[in-house]
Amino acid sequence: MVNELVLKDARVDDDKPLVDIAITGGKIKEIGKNLEGDRVYDVGGDVVVPSFIEAHIHMDKALLEVVKPNLEGTLAGAIKITGELKKGFEDEEVYKRSKIVLDMLLSHGTTIVRCFPDTDPLARLVGFKAMLRLKEEYKDFVDMQIGAFAQEGILKSPGAFEILDEAMKMGSDVIAGCPYNENNYEDTKKHIDMIFELGKKYKKDVTFHADFGDDINDKRYRSIDYIIEKTVAEKYQGRVTVGHMTSLSSVEPDVLNDTIARMASAKIYLTSLVATDVFLSGRGDKNKVRRGVLNPTPFIKGGVNHAFATNNIMNGFTPFANGDLLLIGNLYAHVCQLGTISDQKMLLDMITRNPAKTLGIQDSYGLEPKKNADLVVLDEKKLSNIFINVPRRRLVLKRGRAIYKAEEAVVKMWK
Ligand SMILES: [Zn+2]
């Protein structure tokens, strides 16, 4: 049988010859030389990568910076301002804004997304329902996972637990806690217990926005020890992801190494939210200002599955970002001084292979035969340059079908 589509002369490895990628029935059928297909797309030696994976984004509260900026610049300021806006959330407005964000992601080659709509007494189920609607409407464009998110706390926000439970009943793919946003450490632990309770009740993985603070003297920002303990006790190894964890950037090396070893042993996954982490951290520091964002090298060498993601786009938490994970990778490389070729490779893993494991899709994902043909052609000849040049996405394929094209970008006298 002739292949439906062949991507000809693709650069998939800087140290090996160019290859052809044959696609049939939405899957990669073969990778080799001189492959034939009904349609042939000449890649011309440009880089082809598997689709990027956005493992952590809040589409429901993106693009709100123009409505009300976070002039304080702190995490507390961001939560407060967004909280006020959330009370006025209406179905159609949230849906339209989130749709703009989803198109931003797709046009940057991200076709697999885990999103966390605020699901609490302020936002109600408005954001959650907008995500359900987009998941169905965009099912041929994106694989979407939704995680109902307890941004306002649970103990601190009466009624939150019931709304989360309702969202789980309506089909939330994972559950997302926010244990630092409670009034004291006892409530932080209870919050973690309640998130595990929902995860177990609906047989879903659990995730936490955790330890998002500058130091660990306030134990609400040192909840990882309890999360590790709970993960092991509930036999949830490989089913728990933590995001942020910025307080770990302030601890002594021995504490960091010990935490990494125990996270790896409990198979707890980590997602760094680079732009938000660096934007909101160290706000109280008058000198030696902390960056907050975690250097991935010790985590990955220590066996922790570590990804990075966008988190927020143009709102009180992050006034920048445009849905391009390569741009976030470029920022990450600067902030954590990741300058070598092997660093670039690690960064690529952190938006492809690593988050595939986080989302539990590793069996169908990757640039290999039998895997889904979710691929991106970049306007770039060397794989090791993609975080440097942040190249144009020439073509984005979802299950072998073109869902975005930006073919020509050349300097010439246009007619
Ligand atoms: Zn988040």
**pLDDT (tens digit per residue) in 181-219:** 999 999 999 999 999 999 999 999 999 999 999 988 999
Which CATH code is given to the segment(s) 52-358? 3.20.20.140
Averaged pLDDT score across all residues of the chain:
96
| Cα 56 to ligand 1 centroid, rounded to whole Å | 6
Q: d(Cα 10, Cα 126) in Å, to the nearest integer? A: 43
The domain locations on the chain are: 3-50+368-405, 52-358
Strands 3-10 and 37-42 come out as: parallel
- Reported as type and span, the H/E element at residue 42 is strand 37-42
CATH architecture of 3-50+368-405: Roll (2.30)
| Cα distance between the two ends of the chain | 42
Cα distances (angstroms) measured from residue 263 to each of 63, 117, 237, 243, 270: 34, 26, 10, 13, 9
Ligand 1 centroid, distance to 149 Cα (angstroms): 9
Going from the Cα of 259 to the center of ligand 1, the distance in angstroms, rounded, reads 22
Model's pTM, two decimal places? 0.97
Given a cut of 80, is residue 251 above it in pLDDT? yes
Ligand 1 centroid–CA 249 distance in Å is 18
114: CA distance to ligand 1 center in Å?
11
Confidence label for 408 from pLDDT (cuts 50, 70 and 90): confident
Give the pLDDT confidence score for residue 276 in this predicted structure: 96
CA of 209 to the centre of ligand 1 (A): 6
At 110, is the secondary structure helix, strand, or coil?
strand
Give the pLDDT band (50/70/90) at residue 359.
very high
- Nearest CA among 352, 306, 323, 330 for reference residue 50: 352
CA 197 to ligand 1 center in whole angstroms: 21
Ligand 1 mean position to 178 CA, how many Å?
A: 9
> Quick one: which of 149, 89, 152, 90 has its CA closest to 115?
149
Ligand 1: centre distance to CA 274 (Å): 11
The average pLDDT across 319-333 equals 97
Predicted local confidence at residue 120, as pLDDT: 97
Q: Where are the beta strands (DSSP E) in 143-222?
A: 143-149, 174-177, 205-210
Q: Strand, coil or helix: what is 345?
A: helix
Half-sphere exposure of 379 (CA within 13 A, CB side): 14
pLDDT in tens, 220-240: 999 999 999 999 999 999 999
Question: Separation of 58 CA from ligand 1 center, angstroms?
Answer: 6
Is the pLDDT confidence value at 1 over 80?
no
Predicted confidence at residue 10, as pLDDT, reads: 98
Instruction: Work out the average pLDDT over 383-409.
Output: 95
Q: 115 to each of 83, 102, 191, 304, how far by Cα in Å?
A: 18, 10, 20, 22
Q: How far is the CA of 395 from the centre of ligand 1 (A)?
A: 29
